[in-house]
Amino acid sequence: MAIQDIYPTALRLLGRPVLVVGGGPVAARRAKGLLDAGARVTVVAPAACPALSDLADAGLLTWEPRTYRASDVDAVWFVQTATGDAAVDAQVAADAEAQRIWCVNASDHEASAAWTPAVAVVDDVKIAVNAGGDPRRAMALRDAVATALETGDLPLRRHRGSGTGAATGSVALVGGGPGDTGLITVRGRRLLGQADVVVADRLGPRELLAELAPDVRVIEVGKTPGHHPVPQSEINRILVDEALQGHRVVRLKGGDPYVLGRGGEEAEFCRQHGVEVEVVPGVTSAISVPAAAGIPVTHRGLAKGFSVVTGHEELSEVPARADHTVILLMGVGQLRDSAASLARAGLPQGTPVGIVENGYLPNQRVTIGTLGTIADQAEAVGVANPAVIVIGDVVRVSPFAPSHFKTADYSTTAPNAPRTTKTRVLTP
């Protein structure tokens, strides 16, 4: 049978009687698929493998423990034969053909009246692939298409209603990560491919917006330090209004929605107005952007914990120790005040400080100094947001740190070695 002989279609078997002849693993897989489609399945076989027996014992199908009879095909809508005996399978197929019933003959795909494709399900999309009777080829193609749908490389967006009568859409708060398009989660990328409306921040994986279909609306609500053209209350209203019009809305944020991203406020507002909301975590810039400069926020022998604050917050409650990492977000404008506050709390002036601008992007820049020098350094080179500021001994690990910042006081091979108390003078 040539591939041109195939007319692709989908059978709706809900509540319809179907017949499976055979009791082995292949018959069990086919019976399971037919049950998933809602068919009323009868299996005819002298013996049944454990998988089929379990389905029968659970009352999900009827098992007739005997050999096949020609009358078994009477009044059924579809037949699958997989006995492992080519002669029996051929007889079942001939009996079905005589009654104009579609039959899949597992023993002889060339003579079979129908083929079973390789199938995968992604959301409410069912992928079925035939590949000229080559099942391994079909499975490989199926898996490739399913993966592309799962990752958002192929669009899952609906273009007509589901027919369920539901008028309300949904909102997904998607953390886009630090900006690199490869650092958004698979779930976030997939939801973006399904969106009708995207409410976008200034940060995050902006390049993905160019890949959206032309009729997907992008509503810009980005903020910059000291400039919030779209207030939070208006963003909340936009999300709810668009969802109530039946749209799938993605709120695309940089970093993580729940790490200084006001995602909690947006989720609460949606729920208060009867809108379904999903929160998709993102790779927070507090951890990922330092990593882009080779700075771990914790490191054996250097730091066991860290605090994340904004530059607008009081730092008096943060542990003032070089072995406790302090991460400042949105802190460039008040860097001098923040450094002075930490120094007054007891943090040594020689504590290493790193600033990472535009983490993971082509224009990434790293500036490294000390608590006493970093404000002047930042002003001299024009450091600007978006930037993450890391304060603590972990900055010594960065490959961008000057050589005299390096220390033998930490080790990944002997992490329990005591740290020296010798004072080092660190200059930029």
Enzyme catalytic residues: 201, 223
Beta carbons of 88 and 82 less than 8 angstroms apart: no
Return the closest-CA partner of residue 17 out of 36, 34, 2, 5.
Answer: 34
Cα–Cα distance list, 419 to 204, 302, 398, 410 (Å): 39, 8, 19, 7
Beta carbons of 257 and 285 less than 8 angstroms apart: no
Q: How open is the CA angle 215-228-243, to the nearest 5 degrees?
A: 40
> Which structure tokens are listed for 386?
């978006």
Token pair 């809508």 is found at 77
Helix (H, G, I), strand (E, B) or coil at 135: helix
Amino acid (one-letter) located at 194: Q
Pairwise CA distance, residues 368 & 364, whole Å: 13
> Which structure tokens are listed for 410?
């930490």
Return the closest-CA partner of residue 47 out of 65, 72, 27.
Answer: 65
Return the closest-CA partner of residue 298 out of 371, 386, 369, 390.
Answer: 390
